[in-house]
Amino acid sequence: MKRDRSEQLYTEALELFPGGVNSPVRAFRSVGGTPLFFTRGEGALLHDVDGNTFIDLCLSWGPLILGHAHPAVVEAITKRVALGTTFGAPTEEENKLGRLIVDHIPFVDRVRFVSSGTEAVQSAIRLARGATKRDLLLKFDGCYHGHVDSLLVNAGSGLATFGTSSSAGVPEELAKLTLVVPLNDMDALETVFREHGAQLAGAIIEPIPANNGLLLQERTFLQRLRELCTAHSTVLILDEVISGFRVGFRGSFDIYGITPDLVTYGKIIGGGMPVGAYGGRLDLMKQVAPEGPVYQAGTLSGNPVAMAAGLAQLTECLKPGFYEALEAKTATLCATVNTHAKAKGYAYHLDHIGSIFWGFFADADHIRRADAIESASMKTYAKLHAALLERGVYAAPSGYEVGFLSSAHTDAQVQQVALAMCEALDEVM
C-alpha cells in the first residue's frame, strides 16, 4: 500500500505537534507504521492523500452514524454556514435541537450544550458536587470519560480503592477524590457504598463501556448501581458519549432501562461537529448558572452550525427501522467472522451491541472487565490492523478501541469487511 504522501506529511507534522498529532491514538503507536492522512470521506468510504480508499470502521470514533458527508447533514451545514458560523448568542437552532432531545429522552428535563464530550463530563461532575455539597467521585476501572483531571485515575490494589493519577500533571490530592472499583464486580460496588456512600457526590459510568474494549455489563450490576445511588443520594451520571443515540435513540436506556440523574453526550448529537451536552433531572439542572450557583460557560456552546448538523442527523435516526437495520448489519458481520474463527479454531471473537463491535483474542463470548484483556494480544492486533489496511479496511489504530457501522455501509460492503477480516485472521493467527 502506498504511503509516500502520508509519510511526508507526518514528517512535517512531527515538527509542528507533540508526537505529530493532535490526539494521541492517531499516531499509530499501538499498531506501528505511519499514520494515514485523509482527504475526504463519502458514505462508508475514506480516501487518503496517497489515493488509497478504505471502508471505514472507525467513523471518527463513532459519531458518523449516517456515514461521511450524508446529504442531509451537508445541506444543513452549508445553509447555516452561509448565514454565519458563530455569534456567541442564542439561536433558533439551539431550541430546535434541545427540544428534540428533551422530547425524546425521558430522563432529560433540561439540557446544556457544550463543545465536547470531555467538557460535558467535566460539567456534570461539577454539578454533582455542587448539588450534593460532597467531594468524592466514584468511577469504574476500564471506563474512559475524556481527559478530565478528576477522572484520569487508575485503580489501586483493593476492591474499592482511592485513585492514583494516570497522567503527569494531575495532582495526587485531586486523584484521591476519585474512588475506583472494577466493572461488573458486585462485591466491590457494595463495599464502596457501604464505606463511602455518605461522601459520594456522584458515580459515573459508561453503561456500555466502549473506550477500553467493549466491556458489556450485566443488567443486574447497573440496576444495583442505580439502587445504591438512590439510597445514598449520590448522583448517577451515565456517560453516553459513545453509546448515546448510537445503540438506540435513547442510548443504553433502550437496552438496560436504567434511568440516570445526569447523562453526557458527544459529537453524535452534532453530526460529527465539535459538540457535547449534559442533561438530566430538573432539580439538578436548575443548579446550573445562570439559574443556579454551579458555573459553566462557553463561547461556542450551542454553536449554530453544530446544532443544524445535529438536528439533521438525529432526524434521520428517528426514521422507522433505522436502528434495527443498523444492528442487523452489525450482527451479520460479527456472526460471519465468528463462524470462521470457530471453524478454524482461532481464539478470537467479535462481540457487539447495536452497531458497536469489538474483536478480542480469547475463547469467550464477552469480556466484562478491563483486567481480563490480555495485553499481549495487542501485538497480534497490530498485525491484524496492517492486514486489514492492505485489504482496504480502516479499523481503529488500537486494539482497545471499538468499531462502528453506519447506515451508509451497504450489505456488499459489510460482506467485503467480513471477508477481509477472515482473510486477515488466517494471515496472523
On the CB side of 288, how many CA atoms lie within 13 Å of its CA?
Answer: 23
Residue given cell 442564542 in the structure block:
90
* Catalytic residue list contains 254: no
φ, ψ at 113 (rounded to 5°): -85, 140
167 to 23, 159, 164, 202: CA distances (angstroms): 15, 22, 9, 22
Task: Extract the C-alpha cell encoding 419.
Answer: 471477508
Radius of gyration of the chain (CA): 21
Task: Extract the C-alpha cell encoding 167.
Answer: 497522567
Active-site residue, from 267, 323, 348, 394: 267
Whether residue 240 contacts residue 267, with contact meaning beta carbons closer than 8 Å, is answered with no
Amino acid at site 408? A
> Among residues 76, 363, 131, which one has the least CA distance to residue 262?
131
* Catalytic residue list contains 351: no
Q: Work out the angle at residue 112's Cα, subtended by the Cα atoms of residues 109 and 116, and round it to the nearest 5 degrees.
A: 135
* Catalytic residue list contains 267: yes
The C-alpha atoms of residue 98 and residue 111 are separated, in whole angstroms, by 7
Active-site residue, from 10, 144, 381, 400: 144
284-309: buried (b, 16+ CB within 10 Å) or exposed (e) per residue? Answer: bbebbeeeeebebebebbbbbbbbbb
Where do runs of H (alpha helix) occur along 322-410? 322-344, 377-390
Q: Which residues are catalytic?
A: 144, 239, 267
